[in-house]
Each structure stands twice: as structure tokens, then as C-alpha cells.
């Protein structure tokens, strides 16, 4: 199910310990010689350990219209349309506790947050090849933000939220951003989140 595909760049390596056969090819006097051997991996003894903070995932902003190389793989895997009522998804996050989830990605810089102070229409991302990142500015509805926070509270995940670093800035023809970041919209969302007594979050910004 597309709604269960996190598309999140999981920061997890899974080791599978087993007996296996390998083939080694040699070239001698123009002849190909194949040597077969057995490799034994001892999975009982750890040679290194990772910190619990290593386990992380990302929920991105890409809408279903986002396509790469002829494949539109995002479907309903965005934090805007992911089915967060699915108990299988919730239990998967709990199983990786303490999981850290980053809310962000390329389009985070073009997101406007609907808040109690933001009265403009909350419009979705629309594909436009002439726009930076090929999508227009999009909006995070306040109702969806409430749903996400309720879900994260149940899951116990720690959240890292990518801020809209392009808000208020101008984009030059070479793609560079000029001007100061207008933080008012982000500040409004943070105040609302704190007032709602949601889980603690860490804000981040990626655009310089």
C-alpha cells in the first residue's frame, strides 16, 4: 500500500549473518579459473555498536505528481497525505523506538504553514516546471498539523522539523536565494504547537 511506503531514507543498516559461497575469478595464461570457497560470518560477537540516535527516518513533502525518470513513486507517502490512522504504520514506528523522524526535504523551503495568524488560502503544491523544484508554493493545513502531532504523541517518536527557509526570500535567475528569511510564519506555528502542548520538536533549516 502506497500509504505505508515511507520514502524516508531510513538510516538503518540490517545485517544478515549466514553461510555463503563466493566465486573468485583469476586469469592465467588466457584461461579463466574459478575458485569456490566458503565464508563464515560469526554473528555472536559484536565488533561495534551504534548510538540509539542513529535510528532515523524522513517524511517528505512531495505530492503524488512528483515523478523521476518516468516513475511517479510518491503516491500517498507524503506527510501531507500519508494514512496515519493505520495501526500497522503506528506499531512499526513504535518498534524502532527511540525513532527520530525528520519532517522535511526539498519542498520544506516552499511550505507556508496555516496558523491562527495566517488567513490566506491554504493551497496545495502544484506542478510547474518553471518553478524552483518544479512545484509552486504549498501549504500545511492546520488540521493536518494537529493530526500529525496526535500521531507522533502516540508513536513516541522524536521529531525534527525542517523550517521554510525560503519564506520572504527572492530567487535569482541562477537559483540562489537573496534576502532575509521571514520567520514570522514559522514563529506562529511554533507558538501554536507549544500552546497545544504537543511533543517537543527540534527545528532545522537547510537553505543558506
Could you read off the pLDDT of 17-51 as tens digits, one per residue? Answer: 333 344 444 445 556 777 888 888 888 888 888 88
> DSSP string of the chain?
-GGG--------------EEEEEEEEEETTEEEEEEEEEE---SS-S----GGG-EEEE----TT--BTTB---TT-STTT--TT-HHHHHHHHHT-S-EEEE--GGGGGEEE--SS--S--PPP-B-TTSGGGB--EEE-HHHHHHHHHHHHHHT-EEEEE--TTTT-EE-TTS-EES----HHHHHHHHHHHHTTPPPEEEE----
pLDDT of 197 strictly over 50: yes
pLDDT cut 90: percent of the chain above it: 57
More confident residue, 120 or 184: 184
Rounded to whole angstroms, how far apart are CA atoms 165 and 96? 30
Name the residue with higher pLDDT: 100 or 40.
100
Beta bridge partners of 23: 36
Residue of 84, 142, 94, 91 whose CA lies nearest to 117 = 142
**pLDDT tens per residue, range 54-82:** 889 999 999 999 999 999 999 999 999 99
pLDDT at 158 over 60: yes
Distance between alpha carbon 164 and the CA centroid of its chain, in Å?
A: 15
Amino acid at each position: 500500500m502506497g500509504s505505508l511506503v515511507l520514502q524516508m531514507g531510513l538510516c538503518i543498516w540490517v545485517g544478515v549473518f549466514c553461510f555463503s559461497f563466493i566465486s573468485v575469478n583469476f586469469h592465467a595464461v588466457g584461461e579463466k579459473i574459478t575458485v569456490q570457497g566458503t565464508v563464515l560470518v560469526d554473528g555472536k560477537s559484536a565488533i561495534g555498536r551504534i548510538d540509539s540516535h542513529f535510528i532515523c527516518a524522513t517524511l517528505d513533502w512531495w505530492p503524488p505528481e512528483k515523478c523521476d525518470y518516468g516513475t511517479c513513486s510518491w503516491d500517498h507517502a507524503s506527510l501531507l497525505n500519508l494514512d496515519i490512522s493505520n495501526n500497522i504504520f503506528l506499531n512499526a514506528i513504535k518498534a524502532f523506538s527511540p525513532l527520530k523522524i525528520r519532517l522535511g526535504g526539498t519542498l520544506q523551503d516552499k511550505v507556508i504553514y496555516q496558523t491562527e495568524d495566517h488567513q490566506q488560502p491554504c493551497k496545495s503544491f502544484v506542478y510547474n516546471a518553471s518553478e524552483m523544484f518544479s512545484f509552486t508554493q504549498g501549504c500545511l493545513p492546520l488540521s493536518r498539523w494537529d493530526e500529525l502531532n496526535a500521531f507522533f504523541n502516540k508513536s513516541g517518536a522524536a521529531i525534527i522539523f525542517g523550517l521554510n527557509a525560503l519564506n520572504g526570500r527572492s530567487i535569482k535567475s541562477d537559483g540562489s536565494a537573496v534576502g532575509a528569511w521571514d520567520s514570522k510564519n514559522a514563529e506562529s506555528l511554533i507558538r501554536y504547537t507549544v500552546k497545544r502542548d504537543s511533543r517537543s520538536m527540534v527545528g532545522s533549516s537547510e537553505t543558506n
